[in-house]
């Protein structure tokens, strides 16, 4: 094992402990950025390293991609957060003590996500996802308003139950593997399980997968287990909404996909795909319909996240090299685009002093740089060319038409449904006469435009090595 992988985990953990001790929030916010930069640098070296798996940690083409993505979005969000929280302190919503807590929790959250992604042990994976739940629950309730406490409580209860069901699934997997591999850690280790998957009793795997899909699926925000997601996104600080949407949902989906690989390697189990396709399509339709009735801007984009997680779950559910490729690309594009949108929304909410869409009209007139950025982001997430999201959706739709025309029809219908709502709302937000208050924007729009540039670049030209890399991962996923 090269030291880089443990280092990726140690850096945020040390930073979390260190940030508890820093009383000055300005210093803390830049230390936060620095720690994220170190983590990203370490994560990027993982692409060239080929370490062997240990009992606790594993590294393959699949999780390296997500680790790098997590570290990158973690860094840009910390930059956004540094410019965002100044305004929150000035407006008296947060005090220095809570910010100290916030920064420590931000790093702890990154640590748990990176641990979940690199865990080679089912138990460690579970603990890491549980840890990510607990840290984000605390951050969602950061403002201590009635609505934020209710949102955090709902999040905690729903995801707590979800995570409990996932643990039951994990125990079932162990039960199935233990006769083959003997008692002890081996029967909970990914690489060992995957290698000996064919010998495992398929019936128990089936039952376990249902529990794991429901359990981790709650955290992915798949319908009908999505109820916590809009509340948690709307009531917490906006940087947290950005990492929740952009990163945490991916991590939970990653866990589901790992178990799907296990079932695929067994061969004698039920096909896990159809379950994921049904959940994916129902999320897509539910979110598409709900989008029309949202009046809160953060809630609106939270539903859009449900929609996209639905599309991704559908892509991996239908499977095959092309659909998996589209799913992976969509995962990355959605992370980048949605977090960019939340950066823009964060600034817009501060500039206008409200989260209600009615109060945020005419943004391109009152704040041109922000307004056009938000417009570009929303058009990208709606799936318009030339952005990267268009690429992945186009790939998925053509591939589905070739294999399951009827399902493709449903998929297109769902995407169009959401598209209509997005275009309708973004028109109101970005154009027309400005409404409400209008404060100047503090802080930088650099993270927003950096993400948009990447998404645009991916839509125009994907570098050859990246395509090859994604193809390897798509083949792994079966």
Partner 1 sequence: MIDIGYDAAHLLGALVLLTSFALLYQRRLFSLLNVFTVQALALSGAAAWQGYAHDEPHLYITAILTLALKAIAIPVALHRIIQRLHIERTVEPALGIGLTMVAGVSLVTLSILLVLPVTENATALTREDLALSLSVVLLGLLMMISRRNAVSQVVGFMSIENGLILAAVGVAGMPLVVEMSIAFSVMVAFIIFGIFLFQIRERFETLDMRKIESFRGESD
Can residue 299 be called a binding residue for partner 1 (CB under 8 A)? yes
Can residue 2 be called a binding residue for partner 1 (CB under 8 A)? no
Q: For partner 1, which is the closer residue by CB, 356 or 442? A: 356
Burial 343-360 (b: 16+ CB within 10 A, else e): bbbbbbbbbbebbebebb
Can residue 101 be called a binding residue for partner 1 (CB under 8 A)? no
Residue numbers 126-155 binding partner 1 by CB under 8 A: 126-127, 130-131, 134, 137-138, 141, 144-147, 149-154
Rounded CA-CA distance 146/83 in Å is: 26
φ/ψ (deg, to 5) at 432? 90, -175
Q: Which of 22, 44, 175, 265 is the binder for partner 1 (CB under 8 A)?
A: 175
Q: For partner 1, which is the closer residue by CB, 204 or 265? A: 204
Q: For partner 1, which is the closer residue by CB, 20 or 457? A: 20
Scanning 70-78, 294-302, 321-329, 397-405 for contacts with partner 1 by CB under 8 A, the matching segment is 294-302
Q: Which of 2, 45, 178, 404 is the binder for partner 1 (CB under 8 A)?
A: 178
Can residue 303 be called a binding residue for partner 1 (CB under 8 A)? no
Can residue 231 be called a binding residue for partner 1 (CB under 8 A)? yes
Rounded CA-CA distance 37/187 in Å is: 36
Task: Name the minimum Å distance from CB 99 to partner 1.
Answer: 18
Q: Which of 58, 119, 167, 344 is the binder for partner 1 (CB under 8 A)?
A: 167
Q: For partner 1, which is the closer residue by CB, 127 or 369? A: 127
Can residue 35 be called a binding residue for partner 1 (CB under 8 A)? no
Burial 21-59 (b: 16+ CB within 10 A, else e): ebeebeebbebbbebbbbbbebbbebeeeeeebeebbbb
Q: For partner 1, which is the closer residue by CB, 67 or 172? A: 172
Q: Binding-site residue total for partner 1 (CB under 8 A)?
A: 54
Q: How many CB atoms lie within 10 A of CB 416?
A: 12
Can residue 405 be called a binding residue for partner 1 (CB under 8 A)? no
Contact 337, 380 (CB under 8 A): yes
Contact 15, 107 (CB under 8 A): yes
Q: For partner 1, which is the closer residue by CB, 234 or 249? A: 234
Handedness of CA 385, 428, 349, 138 (dihedral sign): negative
3 state SS of 194: helix
φ/ψ (deg, to 5) at 189? -100, 125
3 state SS of 60: coil
Can residue 199 be called a binding residue for partner 1 (CB under 8 A)? no
3 state SS of 356: strand
Scanning 180-188, 244-252, 255-263, 376-384 for contacts with partner 1 by CB under 8 A, the matching segment is 180-188
Q: How many CB atoms lie within 10 A of CB 226?
A: 25
Task: Name the minimum Å distance from CB 207 to partner 1.
Answer: 5
Rounded CA-CA distance 140/131 in Å is: 14
Q: Which of 179, 368, 385, 432 is the binder for partner 1 (CB under 8 A)?
A: 179
Q: For partner 1, which is the closer residue by CB, 230 or 280? A: 230
Rounded CA-CA distance 332/399 in Å is: 19
The DSSP code sequence of 135-166 is: HHHHHHTTT--HHHHHHHHHHHHHHHHHHHHH
Q: Is the peptide bond before 224 cis (omega within 30 degrees of 0)?
A: yes
Can residue 234 be called a binding residue for partner 1 (CB under 8 A)? yes
Q: Token pair 């308003």 is at which residue?
A: 145
Q: For partner 1, which is the closer residue by CB, 56 or 476? A: 56
Can residue 184 be called a binding residue for partner 1 (CB under 8 A)? yes
Scanning 83-91, 228-236, 264-272, 325-333 for contacts with partner 1 by CB under 8 A, the matching segment is 228-236
Can residue 123 be called a binding residue for partner 1 (CB under 8 A)? yes
Q: Token pair 């990163």 is at which residue?
A: 247
Task: Name the minimum Å distance from CB 289 to partner 1.
Answer: 15
Contact 19, 28 (CB under 8 A): yes
User: Which phi-psi region, left, alpha or beta, contains residue 237 (left: φ > 0; alpha: ψ -120 to 50)?
Assistant: beta
Q: Which of 17, 157, 198, 402 is the binder for partner 1 (CB under 8 A)?
A: 157
Residue numbers 342-401 binding partner 1 by CB under 8 A: 355
Task: Name the minimum Å distance from CB 478 to partner 1.
Answer: 23
Can residue 60 be called a binding residue for partner 1 (CB under 8 A)? no
Cβ contacts of 284 within 8 Å, gap of 6 or more: 307, 310, 311, 314, 411, 414, 415, 418
- Site residues for partner 1 per CB under 8 A: 121, 123-124, 126-127, 130-131, 134, 137-138, 141, 144-147, 149-154, 156-157, 160-161, 164-165, 167-168, 171-172, 174-175, 178-179, 182-185, 187-188, 201, 203-204, 206-207, 231, 234-235, 294-296, 299, 355
């Amino acid at each position: 094992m090269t030291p880089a992988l443990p280092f990726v985990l140690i850096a945020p953990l040390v930073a979390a402990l260190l940030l508890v001790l820093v009383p000055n929030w300005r210093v803390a916010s830049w230390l936060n950025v620095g720690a994220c930069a170190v983590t990203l640098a370490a994560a990027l070296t993982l692409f060239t390293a080929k370490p062997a798996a240990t009992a606790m940690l594993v590294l393959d083409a699949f999780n390296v991609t997500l680790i790098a993505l997590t570290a990158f979005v973690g860094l840009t969000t910390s930059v956004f957060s540094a410019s965002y929280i100044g305004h929150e302190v000035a407006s008296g919503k947060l005090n220095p003590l809570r910010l100290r807590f916030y920064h420590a929790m931000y790093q702890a959250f990154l640590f748990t996500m990176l641990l979940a992604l690199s865990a080679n042990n089912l138990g460690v994976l579970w603990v890491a996802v549980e840890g990510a739940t607990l840290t984000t629950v605390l951050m969602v309730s950061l403002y201590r308003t009635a609505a934020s406490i209710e949102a955090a409580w709902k999040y905690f209860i729903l995801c707590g139950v979800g995570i409990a069901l996932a643990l039951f699934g994990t125990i079932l997997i162990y039960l199935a593997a233990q006769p083959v591999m003997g008692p002890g850690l081996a029967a909970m280790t990914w690489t060992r399980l995957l290698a000996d998957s064919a010998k495992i009793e398929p019936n128990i795997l089936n039952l376990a997968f249902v529990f794991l899909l429901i359990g981790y699926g709650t955290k992915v925000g798949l319908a009908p287990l999505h109820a916590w997601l809009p509340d948690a996104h709307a009531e917490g600080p906006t940087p947290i909404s950005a990492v929740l949407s952009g990163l945490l949902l991916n991590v939970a989906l990653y866990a589901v996909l790992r178990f799907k690989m296990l079932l695929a390697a067994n061969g004698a189990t039920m096909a896990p795909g159809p379950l994921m396709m049904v959940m994916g399509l129902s999320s897509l339709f539910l979110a598409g319909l709900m989008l029309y009735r949202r009046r809160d801007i953060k809630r609106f984009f939270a539903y859009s996240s449900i929609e996209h997680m639905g599309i991704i779950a559908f892509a991996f559910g239908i499977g095959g090299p092309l659909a998996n490729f589209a799913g992976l690309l969509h995962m990355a594009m959605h992370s980048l685009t949605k977090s960019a949108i939340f950066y823009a929304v964060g600034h817009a909410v501060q500039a206008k002093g409200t989260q209600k869409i009615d109060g945020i009209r005419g943004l391109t007139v009152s704040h041109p740089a922000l307004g056009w950025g938000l417009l570009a982001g929303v058009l990208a997430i709606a799936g318009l060319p030339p952005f990267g999201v268009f690429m992945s959706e186009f790939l998925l739709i053509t591939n589905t038409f070739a294999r399951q025309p009827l399902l493709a029809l449903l998929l297109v219908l769902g995407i169009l449904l959401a598209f209509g709502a997005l275009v309708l709302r973004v028109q109101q937000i970005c154009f027309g006469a400005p409404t409400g208050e209008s404060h100047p924007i503090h802080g930088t729009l650099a993270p927003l435009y950096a993400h948009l540039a990447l998404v645009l670049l991916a839509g125009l030209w994907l570098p050859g090595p990246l395509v090859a890399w994604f193809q390897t991962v798509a083949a792994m996923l079966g």
